[in-house]
Amino acid sequence: MQNRRNGIYILTILSFITGLLTGRAFYFNLGYMFSALLLLSMFWAWASVRWLVITRRTRSRRAQVGRSFEEQFIIRNLAIIPKLWLEVRDESNLPGHVASHIVPALGARSQYDWQVKTRCAARGEFKLGPMTISSGDPFGLFYAQRRIEATARVIVYPQIAEINHFELPIGNISGGEAQRRRSHYITTNAAGVRDYVPGDSFNRIHWRSSARRDKLIVKEFEIDPLVDIWLFADFSSLSLVEASDIKRVGGTGPVIPNASGIPQSTEEYVAVVAASLAQHFINLDRALGFVAYTPNREIHQPERGSRQLTRILETLSVARSFSGYSLGQMLTLETPYFTRGTTLLIVTSSVDTSWVIEAQVLTRRGIRPMCVLIDPSTFNGGKSSDEMRGILQMANIPTVIVRYGDDIAAALAQRLI
């Protein structure tokens, strides 16, 4: 394009020089024609990327590893000047998402649309956009670009394995699925509040809630409660083991899989196991709390319901093993938040036995810890976990072992050791 435009410049100059030397009007007219061609081409290229509206629509700003993410693009020409061709370049960093497109001739007041469907392969928070629209004139002399800075975010949740069974240790507070029902009389186990209905006893009224909502609110009670479960996901940099050929978005972002299945990184296995367990307990209507240093401290107090699951999955989506705290230090910092009778479920790949001492301290406080150990010896260059398993067994901490390449649902369904 540059050489072609330089050729027109040279022909224009030669035409005017020849006209001056010969005095013939033909050469002046030829120079004027070349000048008009340059001006017309320049304006056409400039106008070809103006008076355009491009819209990108997504079904949801949330996706999940293994599922599809869909986008629809619509580009409209608002001008009466047709667009001979348009090149749309998308700068999204979602791995495998190729939304760039060549738009054919776009007539006056017309539109063109296309769809992009991408299988999500990596968890994380990704940017959609910006986009650059390029075009040119019919003679190929000028090239114009227009950048659209608008961006959006999409969160890709980690992969979740459907767990049919997971064995929990017996806690210090009685409880069970069969007895989990509302009581018509007052017990020591308050379960929530609801609106007052005629016949409710006045000693069940929760006066603070009634004052705040300006109507009578009463407390509900359970016969037999279930203990809270805290899920502790270890994203310490000291626990990270991964293959040497692992690649990340931007060098420090999400892991980009180079094959099917979960990447050979303990970070990814911790995220998948924690997400699978979170969904399992939420589906059982258990009160679930969550703690992780991702590397920022993230803590979600125990709650039930899909909203709690969404919070946990969003945290796990962006979790990275960059925290400088060891697992033992993290347990020490979070100990005050665990109440007596709590079941503490630790998901880690750490073979540093010092954290077991802190777990034993929790046991003496009436907290029941258990461990899902991501066996680092099955990853590239990971240390043997034999000593860790022996110490966990001597400390009477129930343990489930997950190895690289295991079926996560089957591994978590195995009996505790």
pTM: 0.82
Residue whose tokens read 């003496």:
364
How far apart are the C-alpha atoms of 91 and 88, rounded to whole Å?
10
CA distances from 292 to 234, 313, 323, 331, 347 (A): 6, 12, 10, 10, 10
60-89 pLDDT, tens digit each: 999 999 999 999 999 999 999 899 999 999
DSSP single-letter state for residue 401: E
Q: Which of 132-141, 201-210, 316-325 has the lowest mean pLDDT?
A: 201-210
362-410 pLDDT, tens digit each: 988 889 999 999 999 999 877 888 999 999 999 999 999 999 999 999 9
How many CB atoms lie under 10 A from the CB of residue 379? 21
How far apart are the C-alpha atoms of 15 and 34, rounded to whole Å?
9
CA distances from 179 to 192, 244, 290, 302, 338 (A): 17, 51, 25, 20, 24
The full DSSP string for 263-285 is: -SBHHHHHHHHHHHHHHHHHHTT
